[in-house]
Amino acid sequence: MSTKTLKTIYLIRHGQADHNIDFHTDPEKACNIRDPALTETGKKQARGVQADPILFKALYEIDGCKKPEVCITSPLTRCLETATIGLEGFGIPYVACQHFQECADLPCDTGVPVPELAPRFPDVDFSELPDEWYSKCGHYNFLTHYQSAEGLRLLNQRMEAATEYLCSRPEDSIVVSAHHTVYCFLVGIEFANCEVMKMTLSSEGDWQSRWSVAESDGEVMPLYSPNGERWSWTGSGPVAGTLKTCLKLSALGPEAAKLSLAKRATAASLSIPPCNAPGDSAAILT
């Protein structure tokens, strides 16, 4: 007989990296930067993570919150930098896990071998990474807009493995430092740079239904693109997010925020509950 357990997971998206600057204006340049690092703005965002109201309560064990026992990070440089800068001084160990690397196979989402990373990040445990951890079949090419069915299948499989990995760990309170597309597929939620969201992860049920939002900076609601369709990202299922995040993302912006808020008001008048869990918004791939 299984015993249901609940873990607290603090999801953090990395700070602004070099490729983020030109992603929409010069995608060729942005996508061909191998394993981009944080910009100075990104480093400042990472330093501000400690003061984020959601994570602050955990780091200082306020209101009954348990201090995070480990930080699981994507082995890409921008996430390693965000984790080690953002949590510096709190004695939280860092473990790199390949499941949380970004999802395309373009240079910007391709990491480098551990012998190159280890000297730069001596406090990170890279022992779980295979030799060519960064080799993968991408799900989407941002330059040609080609979508790979096999890549999507493997990405969905990897998100299940990521969920199982967190469930299998002994810690009850975990920080994850990962990426925009990872979170769109893992929990069906849009994240701005260095946004923090507190999630609850259950040990029971199919992997997508195990995730639920425990705390966020604003209500997490279904997002709509300016053309009126539910927002999704590069083959994900419908994606949710906060209005603050919707306004920050150049692919969405004010018109999408207005429409999402109007749709939310209509749903409220019909007594439809808000989207606070991935049951409506998780990436369910066929």
Instruction: For 15, list phi and psi in degrees, rounded to 5.
Output: -75, 175
Question: Chain-wide mean pLDDT for the chain?
Answer: 91
- pLDDT tens figures, 20-35: 998 878 999 999 999 9
Integer Cα distance of 99 and 102 in angstroms: 9
Q: What was the pLDDT predicted at 22? A: 87
Integer Cα distance of 104 and 110 in angstroms: 8
- pLDDT tens figures, 230-277: 999 999 999 999 988 998 887 888 889 889 989 888 876 654 444 444
Strand order of the β-sheet with 211-215 is 124-125, 94-96, 70-73, 173-178, 6-13, 196-202, 211-215
Integer Cα distance of 28 and 16 in angstroms: 18
Tell me the pTM.
Answer: 0.92
Q: Report CA torsion sign: 49, 52, 55, 58.
A: positive
Integer Cα distance of 190 and 231 in angstroms: 10
What is the greatest pairwise CA distance in the chain? 57
Q: Tell me whether residue 155 is exposed, middle or buried, using C-beta atoms within 10 angstroms of its C-beta: 0 to 12, 13 to 18, 19 or more.
A: buried
If one counts every other C-beta atom within 10 angstroms of the C-beta of residue 206, the result is 10
